Chains A and B, each alone.
Chain A
Amino acid sequence: MRFQLTEDQRALQAGVRELLTRRFGREQLRAAVDAPNLDRALWRELGEAGFFALRLPEADGGVGLGLPEAVLAFEEAGRALLPGPLVATHLAAGEVPGAATGECVVAAVDGTLVEWLDEADTVRGDVTGAVAMRSADPLTPLHRVPRGASADPVAALLTAAEQLGSAARTCEAAVQHARAREQFGQPIGAFQAVKHLCAEMLVRVEVARVAVYAAAVTADPLDIAAAGLLADEAAERGARDCLQVHGGMGFTWESDVHLHLKRAWVRARRGHGAADAEEALAEHLLSPAAR
């Protein structure tokens, strides 16, 4: 047993991070907030890099990798706050023509919400009666649908991976700020109240990380349910604590913290949410298999 990233997986992680830093860095992120349209060129570039076709067999023109690699890529997308129906398009690769290459943007009903309905070329699921919302997340247009669709466990896992990336990023941002910002003649990171917030952020990230990675290896629905709960917690609480560490600046539109928090909220509402995951994990405790 070697529960560690392989060299190839590290290289993949670094490659995706490099691509996203170059193509969707801070400036592009803020530009997207001002004009929230889907960047089709970026979408195709992601397609070329294999983001959507990552798990498609090579015989079908895919990259032929597995869930662990997909999880690493989605973690990076979460870090970068990359907008768009990434999960839906990824899941459609090989089934919807053009999804694998990023030429076709695919949206899907997930729980009772649809993200990016108006921008999508194809929509999966029943969207009759869809009503547009004023989305809390400036980077994710949302519609409510009357008939919800049950979520795919893989969608839940990739969402958890995005949450993990976002949690890791807000932890880093909080630590950077805590080192730089001075009050009372010293960096605020020297104050224990701040230090302990940051330490708890890291602990939540590390716990979510192993849960998400393990679920990617086993693809077990219960592992995925657990990963979702821990990754939601890490992302939502991490963003809140990051906001707190940033003080008044954290409460501004200018800082990126709210973007992480709002996206974390959107992701946490995908699929069935926490209650179903907790019920499934509770039920499993009674099964003979759990002993």
Chain B
Amino acid sequence: MDLAYTPEEEEFRARLREWLGKVLPTLPPKPSPDDWPARRAYDLGWQRMLYDAGYAGLHWPVDAGGRRATPTQHLIFLEETEKAGAPYVGANFVGLLHAGPTIAAEGTAEQRARWLPPVLRGEEVWCQGFSEPDAGSDLAALRTRAWRDGDDYVVSGSKIWTSHAEVADWCELLVRTDPRAPKHRGISWLAMPMDAPGITVRPLRTLAGSTEFAEVFLDEVRVPVANRVGPENDGWRVTMVTLSFERGTAFVGEVVACRRVLGELAREARKNGRWDDPVLRRRLGRLNAEFRALWRLTQWNVGESERTGGVPGIGGSVFKLRYSHARQELYDTAADVLGPESLDLSADWTLDRLSSLSYTIAAGTSQIQRNIVAERILGLPKGR
């Protein structure tokens, strides 16, 4: 067991720090949260800078345009960029963190060549079209249909809660290609161009007031058969690969961010006098223990993926479950530190507290994660 970084890893960190120190001051100001075209441009611009400096697709395989960096280097990258206050992946989230890795793992050579470089270069944005109005936790109940017509699939149905749909170029789309097959068979994973005729995007307002996600209506949308990743009707297996990426690496940088926020919170409490309350102090202390441990868990998971190689395991569910609740506890504690000010919507704290409410729902609810941990890690029987 070791927590010391090797000289090569330290050198990687030092070079990255130096680069961040140079480029971050040159970034334009952050766009307003509801200006989606501006956010897209900003996030893609940052991705382009990473690409030009050789930091794009660090953990991707080389034949997918990646750098074949070790998982530890990827961890260092996420830690340092967050510590330096670099922009978040933002609109590039789906492309970089799960559609891309899925195509890298499951796609053909042509598919990798077509879709991966633009993601890395910051030219194309992806969204995730999995959930439907009647298929959320029960994802395999999805009904969006696709039937073959020559070299195309013709797709009809609707998707919901699709983050970044408004500004996406591509959608990782789950469709039912064999309606007679059992629920988990008969599904296929398609890359759908978002500018195809027949697609209507209707933004949905979140409880934070923003338009983070949207409803997507599909009316006889033509998607080339060549855009299918994995065999026809084998999409559920491909989906499991996608979901393991979603839960595996997606939250690493956020843990670092939460630790920073916790420090800010303590200093805020010191300033406004709430620090004198021992109950509150002890809550902050416990949160410190919590986020230190969550950071250790990411280091452990990285060590494990270095040992086993490849796709992250279901251990991501353990992490996601604990982290999503810790994040909510962090922002609830922030509200107690801030008092009435925590009701001011113009404060970042308030918006962050509101958005923390999505963490136990999005990417698989806590109840679903508990089912996964119980059935697939602990081997308890499936419920009827």
Q: Which residues of A are in contact with B by a Cβ distance under 8 Å?
A: 1-6, 9, 68, 175, 178-179, 186-187, 189-192, 194-196, 198-200, 202-203, 206-208, 210-211, 213-214, 216-218, 222-223, 225-227, 229-230, 274-275, 277-286, 290-291
Contacts and interface: CB of A to CB of B under 8 A. Distances in A.
B19 interface: no
Interface stretch (B120-128, B193-201, B236-244, B374-382): B374-382
11 contacts: A1-B9, A2-B2, A194-B380, A202-B318, A203-B373, A207-B322, A279-B278, A279-B282, A279-B285, A285-B263, A285-B288
Interface size of B as a range = 35 or more
Given A280-B285, A282-B266, 9 more contacts: A175-B379, A192-B383, A195-B370, A202-B378, A203-B322, A206-B315, A279-B282, A286-B263, A286-B266
B367 A196 contact: yes
Given A278-B285, A284-B288, A285-B288, A1 B299 contact: yes
A226 B289 contact: yes
A187 B381 contact: yes
A181 to B, nearest CB: 12
Most A C-beta atoms less than 10 A away, residue of B263, B288, B375, B379: B288
Contacts of B282: 274-275, 278-279, 282
State the majority secondary structure of interface residues on A: helix
Contacts of B3: 1, 3, 214, 217-218
Q: Which 10 A-B pairs have the closest CB atoms?
A: A278-B285, A282-B285, A285-B266, A226-B289, A281-B285, A189-B380, A199-B373, A199-B370, A210-B296, A195-B374
State the majority secondary structure of interface residues on B: helix
Interface of B: 1-6, 9, 72, 260, 262-263, 265-267, 270, 278, 281-286, 288-290, 292-294, 296-297, 299-300, 302-304, 306-307, 315, 318, 321-322, 367, 369-371, 373-375, 377-384
A285 to B, nearest CB: 4
Given A1-B3, A179-B381, A190-B381, A281 B370 contact: no
Given A189-B380, A279-B285, A281-B286, A217 B374 contact: no
A281 B292 CA distance: 10
Nearest to B70: A1
A291 B263 contact: yes
B111 to A, nearest CB: 34
A226 B288 contact: yes
A186 B4 CA distance: 49
A206 to B, nearest CB: 5
B287 to A, nearest CB: 8
A281 B288 CA distance: 6
B317 to A, nearest CB: 9
B241 to A, nearest CB: 23
Contacts of A195: 370-371, 374-375, 380, 383
Contact of A191 (B322, B373, B383): B383
Contact of B303 (A1, A175, A198, A286): A1
B307 A4 contact: yes
Given A195-B374, A196-B374, A203-B321, A3 B286 contact: no
A3 B2 contact: yes
Most A C-beta atoms less than 10 A away, residue of B262, B373, B382: B373
